[in-house]
Structure 1
Amino acid sequence: MIVQIVLVAAALAALVYFVRSGQNVGIRASKRLAFGLFVLLNIYAVLRPEDVTALARMVGVGRGTDLIVYLLVVAFVFGMLNTYLRDREISQHLTNLARQIAIRDAELARREEELTELLRRHEAPDAGSAETAETTVGASPNGSRSARDHETTS
Protein backbone atom coordinates (compact mmCIF):
# COMPACT_ATOMS: atom_id res chain seq x y z
CA MET A 1 0.00 0.00 0.00
CA ILE A 2 2.83 2.44 0.84
CA VAL A 3 4.58 1.62 -2.46
CA GLN A 4 1.39 2.40 -4.36
CA ILE A 5 1.11 5.81 -2.68
CA VAL A 6 4.74 6.62 -3.46
CA LEU A 7 4.41 5.51 -7.11
CA VAL A 8 1.16 7.45 -7.65
CA ALA A 9 2.68 10.54 -6.03
CA ALA A 10 5.77 10.24 -8.25
CA ALA A 11 3.63 9.90 -11.37
CA LEU A 12 1.55 12.93 -10.41
CA ALA A 13 4.69 14.93 -9.62
CA ALA A 14 6.09 14.07 -13.05
CA LEU A 15 2.83 15.15 -14.68
CA VAL A 16 2.75 18.43 -12.75
CA TYR A 17 6.38 19.12 -13.59
CA PHE A 18 5.73 18.38 -17.27
CA VAL A 19 2.65 20.63 -17.41
CA ARG A 20 4.13 23.53 -15.42
CA SER A 21 7.57 23.51 -17.00
CA GLY A 22 8.30 26.82 -18.73
CA GLN A 23 9.81 25.06 -21.74
CA ASN A 24 6.54 23.40 -22.80
CA VAL A 25 5.83 25.92 -25.55
CA GLY A 26 7.72 23.94 -28.17
CA ILE A 27 6.26 20.55 -27.25
CA ARG A 28 3.65 19.31 -29.68
CA ALA A 29 0.14 18.55 -28.49
CA SER A 30 0.48 14.90 -29.49
CA LYS A 31 3.48 14.49 -27.19
CA ARG A 32 1.62 16.20 -24.35
CA LEU A 33 -1.36 13.91 -24.80
CA ALA A 34 0.86 10.84 -25.03
CA PHE A 35 2.68 11.76 -21.83
CA GLY A 36 -0.59 12.47 -20.02
CA LEU A 37 -1.99 9.12 -21.17
CA PHE A 38 1.21 7.38 -20.11
CA VAL A 39 0.95 8.85 -16.60
CA LEU A 40 -2.71 7.89 -16.31
CA LEU A 41 -1.97 4.33 -17.43
CA ASN A 42 0.90 4.22 -14.98
CA ILE A 43 -1.36 5.24 -12.11
CA TYR A 44 -4.00 2.71 -13.19
CA ALA A 45 -1.37 -0.06 -13.38
CA VAL A 46 -0.12 0.79 -9.88
CA LEU A 47 -3.62 0.84 -8.39
CA ARG A 48 -4.96 -2.23 -10.27
CA PRO A 49 -2.05 -4.65 -10.97
CA GLU A 50 -4.41 -7.59 -11.43
CA ASP A 51 -5.98 -5.83 -14.44
CA VAL A 52 -2.54 -5.44 -16.01
CA THR A 53 -1.88 -9.14 -15.50
CA ALA A 54 -5.23 -10.00 -17.12
CA LEU A 55 -4.41 -7.72 -20.07
CA ALA A 56 -0.97 -9.29 -20.39
CA ARG A 57 -2.48 -12.78 -20.57
CA MET A 58 -4.96 -11.60 -23.22
CA VAL A 59 -2.12 -10.41 -25.47
CA GLY A 60 0.02 -13.51 -24.86
CA VAL A 61 2.43 -12.30 -22.17
CA GLY A 62 2.67 -14.32 -18.96
CA ARG A 63 2.75 -11.52 -16.37
CA GLY A 64 1.68 -7.92 -16.15
CA THR A 65 5.16 -6.93 -15.05
CA ASP A 66 6.62 -8.36 -18.24
CA LEU A 67 4.09 -6.44 -20.34
CA ILE A 68 5.03 -3.21 -18.58
CA VAL A 69 8.73 -3.86 -19.14
CA TYR A 70 8.12 -4.50 -22.85
CA LEU A 71 6.11 -1.30 -23.15
CA LEU A 72 8.82 0.64 -21.34
CA VAL A 73 11.43 -0.68 -23.78
CA VAL A 74 9.30 0.54 -26.69
CA ALA A 75 8.81 3.92 -24.98
CA PHE A 76 12.55 4.17 -24.32
CA VAL A 77 13.40 3.43 -27.96
CA PHE A 78 10.84 6.03 -29.07
CA GLY A 79 12.34 8.59 -26.69
CA MET A 80 15.87 7.89 -27.86
CA LEU A 81 14.85 8.13 -31.51
CA ASN A 82 13.04 11.39 -30.84
CA THR A 83 16.12 12.79 -29.06
CA TYR A 84 18.41 11.67 -31.88
CA LEU A 85 16.22 13.31 -34.54
CA ARG A 86 15.95 16.53 -32.55
CA ASP A 87 19.72 16.64 -31.99
CA ARG A 88 20.34 16.04 -35.68
CA GLU A 89 17.96 18.89 -36.58
CA ILE A 90 19.65 21.24 -34.10
CA SER A 91 23.06 20.26 -35.49
CA GLN A 92 21.88 21.05 -39.01
CA HIS A 93 20.55 24.44 -37.87
CA LEU A 94 23.88 25.22 -36.18
CA THR A 95 25.80 24.21 -39.30
CA ASN A 96 23.63 26.47 -41.46
CA LEU A 97 23.98 29.33 -39.00
CA ALA A 98 27.77 28.98 -38.85
CA ARG A 99 27.88 28.89 -42.65
CA GLN A 100 25.78 32.05 -42.92
CA ILE A 101 27.93 33.87 -40.36
CA ALA A 102 31.13 32.84 -42.17
CA ILE A 103 29.74 34.07 -45.51
CA ARG A 104 28.59 37.33 -43.92
CA ASP A 105 31.95 37.89 -42.25
CA ALA A 106 33.81 37.19 -45.49
CA GLU A 107 31.52 39.60 -47.36
CA LEU A 108 32.04 42.29 -44.73
CA ALA A 109 35.82 41.80 -44.85
CA ARG A 110 35.76 42.04 -48.66
CA ARG A 111 33.69 45.23 -48.54
CA GLU A 112 35.98 46.71 -45.89
CA GLU A 113 39.03 45.96 -48.04
CA GLU A 114 37.36 47.53 -51.07
CA LEU A 115 36.44 50.61 -49.05
CA THR A 116 39.95 50.90 -47.65
CA GLU A 117 41.41 50.61 -51.13
CA LEU A 118 38.96 53.19 -52.46
CA LEU A 119 39.78 55.61 -49.66
CA ARG A 120 43.50 55.04 -50.20
CA ARG A 121 43.14 55.82 -53.91
CA HIS A 122 41.01 58.85 -53.19
CA GLU A 123 43.37 60.25 -50.55
CA ALA A 124 46.64 59.48 -52.37
CA PRO A 125 46.35 62.28 -55.00
CA ASP A 126 44.94 64.72 -52.42
CA ALA A 127 47.75 64.01 -49.97
CA GLY A 128 50.39 64.90 -52.58
CA SER A 129 48.63 68.10 -53.64
CA ALA A 130 47.97 69.10 -50.03
CA GLU A 131 51.64 68.76 -49.16
CA THR A 132 52.61 70.78 -52.20
CA ALA A 133 50.07 73.47 -51.37
CA GLU A 134 51.18 73.53 -47.76
CA THR A 135 54.81 74.05 -48.59
CA THR A 136 54.08 76.75 -51.13
CA VAL A 137 51.04 78.63 -49.82
CA GLY A 138 49.94 77.54 -46.35
CA ALA A 139 53.21 77.28 -44.51
CA SER A 140 54.41 80.11 -42.37
CA PRO A 141 58.02 81.22 -42.46
CA ASN A 142 58.85 79.12 -39.37
CA GLY A 143 57.42 75.94 -40.98
CA SER A 144 54.15 75.64 -38.96
CA ARG A 145 50.82 75.36 -40.67
CA SER A 146 48.14 78.00 -40.49
CA ALA A 147 44.97 77.34 -38.47
CA ARG A 148 42.91 77.13 -41.67
CA ASP A 149 45.17 74.45 -43.14
CA HIS A 150 45.20 72.55 -39.85
CA GLU A 151 41.36 72.40 -39.83
CA THR A 152 41.12 71.16 -43.40
CA THR A 153 43.61 68.34 -42.88
CA SER A 154 42.23 67.25 -39.48
Structure 2
Amino acid sequence: MTQSTTQIIIQILLLLATAALALYFLRNRRKARAKAWVKIGFVVFIFAAVWAVIRPDDLTAIANFVGVDRGTDLMLYALVVAFMFTTLSSYVRFREQELRYSKLARAVALQNAVLPENVKD
Protein backbone atom coordinates (compact mmCIF):
# COMPACT_ATOMS: atom_id res chain seq x y z
CA MET A 1 0.00 0.00 0.00
CA THR A 2 1.15 3.50 -0.68
CA GLN A 3 1.42 6.24 1.91
CA SER A 4 -1.72 8.03 0.69
CA THR A 5 -3.78 4.81 0.60
CA THR A 6 -2.79 4.04 4.18
CA GLN A 7 -3.61 7.59 5.20
CA ILE A 8 -7.04 7.38 3.56
CA ILE A 9 -7.79 4.07 5.30
CA ILE A 10 -6.77 5.50 8.66
CA GLN A 11 -8.89 8.60 8.04
CA ILE A 12 -11.91 6.46 7.18
CA LEU A 13 -11.45 4.32 10.30
CA LEU A 14 -11.09 7.38 12.52
CA LEU A 15 -14.15 9.02 10.99
CA LEU A 16 -16.18 5.82 11.46
CA ALA A 17 -15.09 5.60 15.09
CA THR A 18 -16.03 9.25 15.64
CA ALA A 19 -19.42 8.72 13.99
CA ALA A 20 -20.06 5.61 16.11
CA LEU A 21 -19.24 7.54 19.27
CA ALA A 22 -21.54 10.39 18.24
CA LEU A 23 -24.39 7.97 17.44
CA TYR A 24 -23.95 6.19 20.75
CA PHE A 25 -24.05 9.50 22.60
CA LEU A 26 -27.14 10.71 20.72
CA ARG A 27 -29.00 7.40 21.09
CA ASN A 28 -28.43 7.34 24.84
CA ARG A 29 -29.06 11.01 25.49
CA ARG A 30 -32.03 10.30 27.75
CA LYS A 31 -29.91 8.05 29.92
CA ALA A 32 -27.00 10.47 30.10
CA ARG A 33 -27.86 13.12 32.63
CA ALA A 34 -25.04 15.34 31.52
CA LYS A 35 -25.24 19.07 31.86
CA ALA A 36 -25.78 21.17 28.76
CA TRP A 37 -22.19 22.42 28.62
CA VAL A 38 -20.91 18.83 28.61
CA LYS A 39 -23.13 18.04 25.64
CA ILE A 40 -22.02 21.18 23.82
CA GLY A 41 -18.39 20.32 24.55
CA PHE A 42 -18.94 16.82 23.19
CA VAL A 43 -20.41 18.16 19.94
CA VAL A 44 -17.48 20.58 19.58
CA PHE A 45 -15.11 17.66 20.21
CA ILE A 46 -16.80 15.61 17.47
CA PHE A 47 -16.47 18.44 14.95
CA ALA A 48 -12.83 19.01 15.95
CA ALA A 49 -12.07 15.30 15.61
CA VAL A 50 -13.57 15.13 12.13
CA TRP A 51 -11.74 18.29 11.11
CA ALA A 52 -8.41 17.01 12.47
CA VAL A 53 -8.79 13.72 10.61
CA ILE A 54 -9.74 15.32 7.31
CA ARG A 55 -7.27 18.23 7.46
CA PRO A 56 -4.25 17.22 9.58
CA ASP A 57 -2.11 20.01 8.08
CA ASP A 58 -4.45 22.59 9.64
CA LEU A 59 -3.82 21.01 13.03
CA THR A 60 -0.07 21.33 12.48
CA ALA A 61 -0.53 24.99 11.55
CA ILE A 62 -2.49 25.59 14.77
CA ALA A 63 0.18 23.71 16.73
CA ASN A 64 2.91 25.89 15.22
CA PHE A 65 0.86 29.00 16.04
CA VAL A 66 0.67 28.07 19.72
CA GLY A 67 4.33 27.04 19.88
CA VAL A 68 4.15 23.26 19.45
CA ASP A 69 6.15 21.59 16.69
CA ARG A 70 3.65 19.01 15.44
CA GLY A 71 -0.12 18.68 15.36
CA THR A 72 0.10 15.19 16.85
CA ASP A 73 1.95 16.61 19.86
CA LEU A 74 -0.77 19.23 20.29
CA MET A 75 -3.42 16.49 20.16
CA LEU A 76 -1.51 14.47 22.73
CA TYR A 77 -1.32 17.44 25.09
CA ALA A 78 -5.03 18.15 24.64
CA LEU A 79 -5.90 14.50 25.28
CA VAL A 80 -3.78 14.42 28.44
CA VAL A 81 -5.61 17.49 29.75
CA ALA A 82 -8.98 15.98 28.79
CA PHE A 83 -8.03 12.72 30.53
CA MET A 84 -7.04 14.58 33.69
CA PHE A 85 -10.33 16.52 33.63
CA THR A 86 -12.33 13.33 33.13
CA THR A 87 -10.48 11.54 35.90
CA LEU A 88 -10.95 14.40 38.34
CA SER A 89 -14.61 14.81 37.38
CA SER A 90 -15.25 11.09 37.87
CA TYR A 91 -13.51 11.11 41.25
CA VAL A 92 -15.56 14.06 42.49
CA ARG A 93 -18.80 12.56 41.20
CA PHE A 94 -18.14 9.14 42.76
CA ARG A 95 -17.09 10.75 46.04
CA GLU A 96 -20.34 12.77 46.15
CA GLN A 97 -22.33 9.63 45.34
CA GLU A 98 -20.54 7.73 48.12
CA LEU A 99 -21.44 10.48 50.59
CA ARG A 100 -25.09 10.38 49.47
CA TYR A 101 -25.19 6.60 49.97
CA SER A 102 -23.72 7.02 53.46
CA LYS A 103 -26.39 9.59 54.39
CA LEU A 104 -29.12 7.36 52.96
CA ALA A 105 -27.84 4.34 54.88
CA ARG A 106 -27.79 6.35 58.11
CA ALA A 107 -31.33 7.62 57.51
CA VAL A 108 -32.63 4.10 56.84
CA ALA A 109 -30.84 2.76 59.92
CA LEU A 110 -32.36 5.48 62.11
CA GLN A 111 -35.81 4.97 60.61
CA ASN A 112 -35.72 1.24 61.22
CA ALA A 113 -34.12 1.45 64.66
CA VAL A 114 -35.79 -0.56 67.38
CA LEU A 115 -35.57 0.56 71.00
CA PRO A 116 -34.36 -2.09 73.45
CA GLU A 117 -37.05 -3.41 75.81
CA ASN A 118 -35.21 -2.41 79.00
CA VAL A 119 -35.10 1.33 78.10
CA LYS A 120 -37.75 3.43 79.84
CA ASP A 121 -39.35 6.45 78.17
Task: Assess same fold via TM > 0.5.
Answer: yes
Q: Which has the higher helix share?
A: 1
- Counterparts of 2:27 and 2:90, CA distance in 1: 21
Residue in 2 aligned with 1:72? 79
Residue in 2 aligned with 1:96? 103
Give the % identical residues.
42
User: Any stretches of 5+ residues in structure 1 without a counterpart?
Assistant: 115-154
Aligned to 1:15, which of 22, 25, 34? 22
**Greater relative CO, 1 or 2 (CA 8 Å, sep 6+):** 2
Q: TM-score, normalised by structure 2?
A: 0.86
> What amino acid does structure 1 have at the position aligned with 2:105?
A
How big is each residue's C-alpha offset from its partner over 1:77-126, in whole Å with a ceiling of 9 and x where there is no partner? 010011001101100100000100111111xx22x959xxxxxxxxxxxx
- Counterparts of 1:88 and 1:19, CA distance in 2: 27
| Number of residue pairs matched by the alignment | 111
> What amino acid does structure 2 have at the position aligned with 1:79?
T
Q: Any residues of structure 2 matched to 1:2-151 within 5 Å, and which?
A: 2-21=9-28, 22-24=30-32, 26-106=33-113, 109-110=114-115
Task: Give me the CA root mean square deviation.
Answer: 1.7
Classify the secondary structure of the residue corresponding to 1:36.
helix
Classify the secondary structure of the residue corresponding to 1:62.
coil
> What amino acid does structure 1 have at the position aligned with 2:51?
Y
Q: Which entry has the higher C-alpha Rg, 1 or 2?
A: 1
- Counterparts of 2:9 and 2:76, CA distance in 1: 22
- Counterparts of 2:68 and 2:26, CA distance in 1: 33
- Counterparts of 2:18 and 2:80, CA distance in 1: 18
Q: TM-score, normalised by structure 1?
A: 0.68
- Moved runs in structure 1, 4+ residues, more than 2 A? none
